Amino acid sequence: MFELFKEYISQKTTLTDADYAKIEAVCIYKKLRKRQYLLQEGDVWKYNAFITKGLVRFYSVDESGRENIVSFAKENWWTGDRASLLTGEPSRNNIDAIEDTELILITKTNFDNLCREIPPFNDMVNAIINKSFITSQNRIHSAISFTAEQKYLDFVQKYPDLSLRVPQAMIASYLGITPETLSRVRKETVKRH
């Protein structure tokens, strides 16, 4: 599992063998079965989590019991509840596995130490956080500005593999539309192309 993480890091920055040894020493390995929780609402999130295999969803459940999916995360992506991690407050969200998933977890304290002790690792983390912020801004923009069809086409264009791996009802939740609307939009899109 660590080899996959090392490969990911090596594509983004250059570290020494000693740096990799420091990172590996604090990694916690976790496997989730399909539908198993990584985080449940009410728990405090304490890790930075990197996915080496599989797929998870990050979501909340409203008063009516409807799931509202905020994001998905797959191989070579990070996941977790950053708000809970930084504030120490209980999460309002859940993370569970859509597929059998393998992750590397690093506690906040250990992660912060790595960032302090390994400047290139810290630079990589900051670049990832900045990219994540831009992705979130773009998602908010599309959520408030796009039609149902534009949202779906944008999702398929940005994440073609996810559109094949994620159940349609979950894609609809992520897009903020009903499964019926998604079904109609997909049929209309197929007719046009």
Which candidate, 144, 111, 113, 103, places its Cα nearest to that of 129? 111
* Residue-level pLDDT at 192: 77
* Residue-level pLDDT at 99: 97
Examine the pLDDT at 42 and tell me if it is beyond 90: yes
Q: Which residues contact 82 (CB under 8 A, 6 or more apart)?
A: none
Q: Which residues contact 182 (CB under 8 A, 6 or more apart)?
A: 148, 152, 168, 171, 172, 175
For the segment 72-96, what is each residue's pLDDT rounded down to a tens digit? Answer: 999 999 999 999 999 999 999 999 9
- Span 148-155, mean pLDDT? 94
* Residue-level pLDDT at 193: 65
Contact indicator for 59, 93 with CB cutoff of 8 Å: yes
**Angle at CA of residue 171, ends 165 and 172, nearest 5°:** 155
